[in-house]
With several copies, the nearest count.
Chain A
Amino acid sequence: KDKFTVSWTIYVGWMPWDYAQQKGIVDKWAKKYGIEIDLVQVNDYIESINQYTAGKFDGCLMTNMDALTIPAAGGVDSTALIMGDFSNGNDGIILKGKKNLADIKGQDVNLVELSVSHYLLARGLESVGLSERDVKVVNTSDADIVAAYSSNDVTALVPWNPQLSEIMTKKDANLVFDSSKIPGEIIDMLVINTEILKDNPKLAKALTGAWFEVMSLMKKGDTKALTFMAEASGTDLAGYKSQLKSTKMFYDPKEAVEFADSSALPNTMKKVSEFSFNHGLLGEGAPDAGFIGMEFPNGKRFGDPKNIKLRFIDTYVKMAAEGKL
Chain B
Amino acid sequence: MKRFMNLKPSKVTAFFLGLLPFIIAGIFYIVASDLRLAENPNDKLLPSMASFSEAIDRMALTPSKRTGEILFIEDTSASLHRLGLGILISAVLAMLIGIPLGFIPFVRAGFSPFVAAFSMVPPMAILPILFIVFGMGEIAKVALIVIGVTPLIVRDLQQRVSEIPAEQFIKAQTLGGSSWSIVIRVILPQIFPRLLDSVRLTLGTAWIFLISAEAISATEGLGYRIFLVRRYMSMDVILPYVAWITFLAFLFDYLLKKLTYKLFPWYSAGKENA
Tell me the A residues contacting B by CB distance below 8 Å.
7, 10, 22, 40-44, 46-47, 50-51, 53-54, 56, 69-70, 73-76, 110, 113-115, 136-144, 146-148, 150-154, 162-163, 166, 169-171, 227-228, 231-235, 239, 281, 283-284
Contacts and interface: CB of A to CB of B under 8 A. Distances in A.
A43 B228 CA distance: 8
Contacts of A110: 136, 217
B136 A73 contact: no
A150 B42 contact: no
Contact of B216 (A44, A73, A284): A44
B208 interface: no
Interface stretch (B91-99, B230-238, B243-251): B230-238
A233 B217 CA distance: 14
B219 A138 contact: yes
B231 A143 contact: yes
Interface of B: 40-45, 54-55, 58, 64-66, 127-128, 131-132, 135-137, 140, 214-219, 224, 227-234
A150 B45 contact: yes
Given A42-B136, A56-B132, A150-B131, A163 B43 contact: no
Given A75-B42, A140-B217, A284-B58, A148 B228 contact: no
A54 B132 contact: yes
Contacts of B234: 234
B136 A74 contact: no
B44 A74 contact: yes
Contact of B127 (A53, A144, A163, A239): A144
A321 to B, nearest CB: 31
B224 A154 contact: no
Contacts of A232: 66
Contact of B232 (A40, A227, A281): A281
A75 B216 contact: no
B232 A144 contact: no
Nearest to B42: A75
Contacts of B45: 53-54, 147, 150
B233 A50 contact: yes
Contact of B219 (A47, A139, A151, A154): A139
A13 B214 CA distance: 22
A47 B229 contact: no
A176 B136 CA distance: 22
Given A41-B219, A153-B136, A234-B231, A75 B128 contact: no
Given A42-B216, A56-B132, A147 B232 contact: no
Given A140-B217, A227-B65, A69 B131 contact: no
A73 B218 CA distance: 25
B127 A147 contact: yes
A44 B217 contact: yes
A283 B64 CA distance: 15
Contacts of B44: 53-54, 74-75
Given A143-B227, A153-B136, A50 B128 contact: yes
B217 A43 contact: yes
Nearest to B43: A75
17 contacts: A47-B128, A50-B131, A50-B233, A51-B131, A51-B132, A76-B42, A114-B232, A141-B216, A143-B227, A143-B230, A146-B232, A151-B140, A152-B135, A153-B135, A153-B137, A231-B65, A284-B54
